[in-house]
Amino acid sequence: MIREYIHTHQQRFLDELFELLRIPSVSADSRYQKEVRQAAEYVAAQLKKAGADSVELCETKGHPIVFGEKKINSSLPTVLVYGHYDVQPPDPLNLWTSPPFEPVIKDGKIFARGACDDKGQVYMHLKAFETMMKLNQLPCNIKFMIEGEEEVGSDNLGTFVKENKNKLKADVILISDTSLISLDCPSITAGLRGLSYLEVEVTGPNRDLHSGVYGGAVANPINVLAKMIASLHDENGRVTIPGFYDRVENLSDADRKKLNSAPFDLNHYQKDLAIDEVQGEKGYTTMERTGIRPTLDVNGIWGGYTGEGAKTVLPSKAYAKISMRLVPHQSSQEIMTLFTNHFLALAPKSVKVKVIPHHGGEPAVTPTHSKAFHAASKAFEEVWGKTPIPTRDGGSIPIVSLFKKELELDTVLMGFGLDSDAIHSPNEHYGVKNFLIGIETIVAFYQHFSRS
């Protein structure tokens, strides 16, 4: 029945998703403010159409939050679905094989910004809900909270959650915004990394100088910045900031073994990225490096002359954007302070250094023995014929730890993307198969969760 309904309506499901994908809801770029709202309105309208009783746009200081609800019986459990309708900027545009906001299907995959992260995955939830409503099979109460600022740190959602605890009362949070190991090997994410994101500004002389007249005698802030950044890792790939690892939890050998027993093909991984070798912290596998170890990466670096041809200049300023991914027990605020103190101390007298904090978020681990996790596991067994493996993902969804802290609710991270879906990159895509089987698995989750 369920599968049949999804199959019968799949073309319409995709058409509707395409309409959402055509709206460039780039939350980071104020030029798209109107479009971000338009995406919220579209999600709200589709939620209503799918059968939600009350749907509203909740205004914030930034982009609105879509909230919708279907209450069938207060004695039944309530699932709160969270997702985001905002997307990352599509740049660099010239590397897309088709325009980012003109979705197309190629080789069974939907190509568009947000196809996987997170519009495609949010839309599975809307269609799972529609399916249950239309077949009269909704087994519990549902709330939806779909926000528009996940890609910029969810600050306003944090405030909204704190101020609306009653409205958000539920038994569990369900999120599809992560990835699976593969279509042959389903998995459920049981942990996410946290994040500290900042920007640094290094100033040398008070103006750009002739690099011949002054070069060699005055500190070049780009040279200095490059050296400072290089010193942030040692020869073993470890971060050199004092105290950085102090709170990092060391997993037992048994837990590490379990983590590494998940299928992972290093050759395939390297080939996919066109690299001859992986790198990272000595003594850890690739899966551990992204799953359970903290990291530091430069996300962008600029300064001086970057236009066409050559200009001989000793620049006045150099900049970099730096992120640190955090693991359980590390605190985003504390790591920000440790970085700032260390980086300022590193600077030679010849330059001035500023550290400007951006957003952050705490790491999260989700329980693998809860009723909800078992329901998710059973759902995969039923639809995929395989028991899903719990994994740790390297990405961050800052609101997950806040849900636990403020609402005392655990989250089930039932994502259907693949690491190779190129989220945040050019040519982001999402398998039509993933989309359809995801809808079916979500419906199965509700059935098992309400039965237990």
Binding of ligand BES by 62 (CB under 6 A): no
Indicate the burial class of 369 (C-beta count within 10 angstroms; 0-12, 13-18, 19 or more): exposed
Q: Is 86 in the site for Mn ion (CB under 5 A)?
A: no
Nearer to Mn ion, 177 or 421 (CB): 177
What would the two tokens of residue 66 be?
């879509």
Q: Is 153 in the site for ligand BES (CB under 6 A)?
A: yes
Which part of the chain contacts ligand BES (CB under 6 A), choosing from 13-21, 176-184, 215-223, 279-287? 176-184
Stretch that binds Mn ion, among 72-80, 173-181, 282-290, 317-325 (CB under 5 A): 173-181
Nearer to ligand BES, 182 or 312 (CB): 182
Candidate ranges 38-46, 59-67, 150-158, 218-226; the one touching ligand BES (CB under 6 A) = 150-158
| Contact call for residue 396 and ligand BES (CB under 6 A) | yes
Distance CA 80, CA 144 (A): 6
Q: Using CB under 6 A, pick the residue from 64, 103, 291, 395 that binds ligand BES.
A: 395
Query: Which one of the spans 66-74, 126-134, 171-179, 204-212 is the region binding ligand BES (CB under 6 A)?
Result: 171-179
Minimal distance, residue 109 CB to ligand BES, in Å: 17
Residue 69 or 362 having the CB closest to ligand BES: 362
Q: Is 25 in the site for ligand BES (CB under 6 A)?
A: no
The reply on whether position 294 binds ligand BES by CB under 6 A is: no
> Is there binding between residue 418 and ligand BES (CB under 6 A)?
no
Residue nearest ligand BES (C-beta atom): 395
- Binding of ligand BES by 179 (CB under 6 A): yes
Residue 150 within binding range of ligand BES, rule CB under 6 A: yes
Q: Site for Mn ion (CB under 5 A): which residue of 35, 69, 130, 177?
A: 177
Binds 393: which of Mn ion, ligand BES, none (CB < 5-8 Å by kind): ligand BES
- Pick one of 35, 69, 117, 393: the residue that binds Mn ion (CB under 5 A): 117
Q: Closest separation between CB of residue 182 and ligand BES, Å?
A: 14
Pick from 118, 362, 410, 440 the residue near Mn ion by CB under 5 A.
Answer: 118
Query: CA 376, 377, 382, 385 torsion: positive or negative?
Result: positive
> What residues line the site for Mn ion (CB under 5 A)?
117-118, 177
> What residues line the site for ligand BES (CB under 6 A)?
117-118, 150-151, 153, 177-179, 192, 195, 359, 361, 393, 395-398
